[in-house]
Every structure is written in structure tokens, then in C-alpha cells.
Amino acid sequence: MNNFLKDTKEIAANRFFSDPEVVKAKQILLESYKKHKQTINKVCPPNPDLEQNYKQAIENFAAIRGGKLWYPYVGSGIGNGPFVELMDGSVKYDCICGIGPGFFGHSHPKVIEATLNAAFSDVVIQGNLQQNYDSLILAELFKKISELDHCFLTTSGAMAVENGLKIAFHKKFPANRVIAFEHCFSGRSLALSSITDKPAYRQNLPTALTVDYIPFFDSNNPNESIKTSVNALKNLLKRYPKAHAAMLFELVQGEGGCYRAPREFFIALMDILKEHNVAIFVDEIQTFARTHEIFAYKHLEIEKYVDICSIGKISLVCATLFRKEFLPAPGILSQTFTSSSSAISATIAIINMLLSSDLYGNDGKISRMHNYFVKKLKAIDEKKTGIIKGPFGIGALIAFTPYDGELKKVLDLLQRLFNLGVIAFVAGENPSRLRLLPPIAALNENDIDEITAIIEKALFEEV
């Protein structure tokens, strides 16, 4: 809370939250919540008495939404760190966390307290015409940690990227093309489906943007790979002079299979883009807070190149961050909603926990837990060589190729894992990979021992 708000005792909200009865009531609720969540502390199978009704609920949900759920997952609303309880009474290790948001795991006490405070907000959801003081606090936090000049809060990762593209096109008018990497993932909105390099995601959809692709880094042939991508970029800029508004960078291709690239690869491309006055747009929806620094562009030490950045997932509230040179005219950025009051309050708590943690640096918890995951996964392969390839990724983005990377085999493995008590997901294409976005802030080595033991069992079941 800003100092001027702390010192303004006549504000009714401050009087309410400092009321001893309110403080006591909150403490009672939080203590009761803690007592019940602590019973969720190991993987458990479904309760047979609940299975039939649960199956019916899953079928009803699928019918209502018009498609089968990816997993038969309906949560009870409570968990404990890496563990989540489902409505069939089962408890599982959640190693994908809704494809990334739950970095501190389920039912973290500071997140729960933040959302409890937000429950008393006068508005459930905030937006362009009514933003409470917590939106200001959050925007200030994002601006501070990014070291960029402006922050525009938004409802989703897709909207954060869309807003970034609007900023770039507005600044670089009449340029109307975008450059992206092959096998990139930008989102599933109409415009972002035009960028995401997966034809199935834009089947029967109109083309909303004109996009040109260059190859991503190939770790099997690093020097030649940089030359290939540089030449491809130069050829595009020559073929379409002054036509590109921005290049969209995923610094780690998460959806593509957790592919990485070194600093020199990005610098080689970014130097050329700067020469040609093309905006550098870094998409950190999936990498934010997940590498050895809070931003992957800071981990790679390329922050001076970044014009625009989108963040989301771990942050819960998404945002577009950009330099003052890219500030658009009034009306270009606007929307009815930015996020719910509970998400805004929770995000402030999450960012403050990230900043005060031991997560970052080469010896931080993210690095230590990543290395331990790698060690345990490699040990599985040593028992039966060739059963997995990898692991790949960085920090809290981990993937490996099971068997020969055939999609059906990976999907079957994921279902076996789910039934055994570990929730993971798929990434990449030719080969397909099993992907983990684990709540590393909530994990310890014993958890990783149990998770990898379940992975090993599921892998060998197919064999």
C-alpha cells in the first residue's frame, strides 16, 4: 500500500481493515483453512463412493462446453503446495498448474490472505473506468521490476500480446508485417492464431496478420544455426523493406517443446532489427519469473534491446510493458476489464514473494530444483537407455521426449501419469514432448523424488 494511503486514517477502507474484530475474524478463517489443507499431503486414489457422480459431472461439463475436458479434472477448491484435491477425493501432484500460473502451488497462505482481503472490495472486477488503489500498486511493481517505462494491465496473456502488437503497429505505421520464429506460440485469439505456427489452430479462420517466419536456434548445429537465422532475417527485411513493425521473441519456446537459445543468437538478430527500426517485442507470458532471473531477458542480459514485453501466467494479472518512445495516442489501449480484484491482490502478494525469495541467481532455488529434476530424469534413462531424451528447458520449464516422441504415445503416457497421481502436459511437435511447469517455489527434493518415481512407473508401464 502506498504511504499516503497508509497515513490516511479517515478512509473507511483503512478503518475497516484495521478493525480488531476484522483482523481476528480473518485470523480465525486462515487458521481453519490451514488446518484443513494440511490433511492434503500425499497422492491418493479416488474415493470409490464418489467416482460415479464425479464421472457424471465430467460428462455433463463436457456436454455443456461442447468438448471433452483435457483431463477429468474438477478441483475441490483446496490443495496444499504441489498437491491438489479433486472432487472425486483423489489427490495429485500438480506439475503443470493450469499451464503455468500456480508457481507457489495450491492454497498458499499469503495468496489466500490476499484474496480474502479482496473479497471485501467494492468491485469484483476492475477496469478502465474503475481501478482501485491496488491496481496502481501492481502497475508500479511491474514497472519497477521490468525497468520499462509504462505498464498496461490486462485480463489475459493473449490480450497482453495483442496490446503489444497494437503499440508496435501504431508506432511503426504504415509497417504492417510481423516476424516470428518457426514453431512459435503466441495465443489463440484471431490475430494471434495468425502468428502461432501451428496450422491446426487457425484451420478455417481468416488471416488477421501477415507474418513471416525465421528458424529458431538449433542446438545441434549452433554456429550454422545463427548464420541461417541471420540470413533469413536479412532476406525478409530486404524483400519487404520498411514493412515490418515488430519481431516477436519467445526467449524459450515453451509450447514448442522447451527449446532454448543462447544470448549471442538473440543479439545477432536484435542488432539487425535495431538497424532496420523494427520493434523488439519479447513475449514472456511463459518465461516470466521462471528462469534464473525474474525476466528471461534479464537472465540473458539483453534488456537494453527490449522495446515491448508481455507477461502473464505466474503473475496472474497480465500486462504489456513498453518504453516511453512507444507510448500510443489516447484510445489505442483501452478495455472494460483489467482483472478481478482478487487476482490483482493475489498478484501483488506473488510479486512481493518473488522479490523477497531465494529463487533467483545461479544458486537460487529455481536452478537447484531444475538440476535435481534433470538428475532424477537422467537416472530413469540410465535404467533403460532411450526411454527418454533430454531433459530440455531451463529453470521451471522442463520437458523430455518419451520413447520416440510419437504424439499418441505421449498422450497415453500423460493419461497414465494422471491416473497415478502426477499432472503434466504435452509440448512440441515432431517430436512431441512431456512438459512440466512445476510449482518450484512449493517443491522440495522429496517431492521431486516422488514425482519422478511416478513418471518412471508410467514410462515402464508402456514398455
Q: What is the pLDDT of residue 6?
A: 55
Local structure of 162: helix, strand or coil = helix
The CA distance from 70 to 364, in Å, is 34
329 and 371 in a single domain? The answer is no
Which set of grid coordinates corresponds to residue 23? 483482523
181 and 282 in a single domain? The answer is yes
* Other CB atoms within 10 A of residue 189 CB: 17
The CA distance from 71 to 58, in Å, is 9
Residue 143 has pLDDT above 80, yes or no: yes
296 and 395 in a single domain? The answer is no
Q: What is the pLDDT of residue 385?
A: 84
313 and 396 in a single domain? The answer is no
Residue 4 has pLDDT above 90, yes or no: no
Instruction: Judge whether 306 and 278 are in contact, CB under 8 Å.
Output: no
Give the domain CATH number at 398: 3.90.1150.10
Residue 150 has pLDDT above 70, yes or no: yes
Domain boundary among 283, 314, 333: 333
Give the total number of structural domains in the chain: 2
244 and 390 in a single domain? The answer is no
327 and 234 in a single domain? The answer is yes
At residue 2 the predicted structure's pLDDT band, cuts being 50, 70 and 90, is: very low
Domain boundary among 333, 357, 377: 333
- The verdict on residue 395 lying in a domain is yes
Instruction: Judge whether 421 and 91 are in contact, CB under 8 Å.
Output: yes
Instruction: Judge whether 132 and 126 are in contact, CB under 8 Å.
Output: yes
Return the C-alpha torsion angle 92, 98, 103, 108, nearest 10: -60
The CA distance from 22 to 337, in Å, is 29
Instruction: Judge whether 401 and 259 are in contact, CB under 8 Å.
Output: no
Segment 333-351 mean pLDDT: 96
Give the domain CATH number at 321: 3.40.640.10
Local structure of 234: helix, strand or coil = helix
192 and 300 in a single domain? The answer is yes
Domain enclosing residue 427, as ranges: 365-462
Q: What angle do CA 215, 313, 388 make, to 5 degrees?
A: 55
Segment 375-383 mean pLDDT: 95
311 and 383 in a single domain? The answer is no
194 and 305 in a single domain? The answer is yes
Q: What is the pLDDT of residue 386?
A: 87
- The verdict on residue 323 lying in a domain is yes
309 and 182 in a single domain? The answer is yes
The CA distance from 179 to 154, in Å, is 24
- Is residue 395 packed enough to be buried (19+ CB in 10 Å), middle (13-18) or exposed (0-12)? buried
- The verdict on residue 4 lying in a domain is no
Local structure of 178: helix, strand or coil = strand
315 and 374 in a single domain? The answer is no
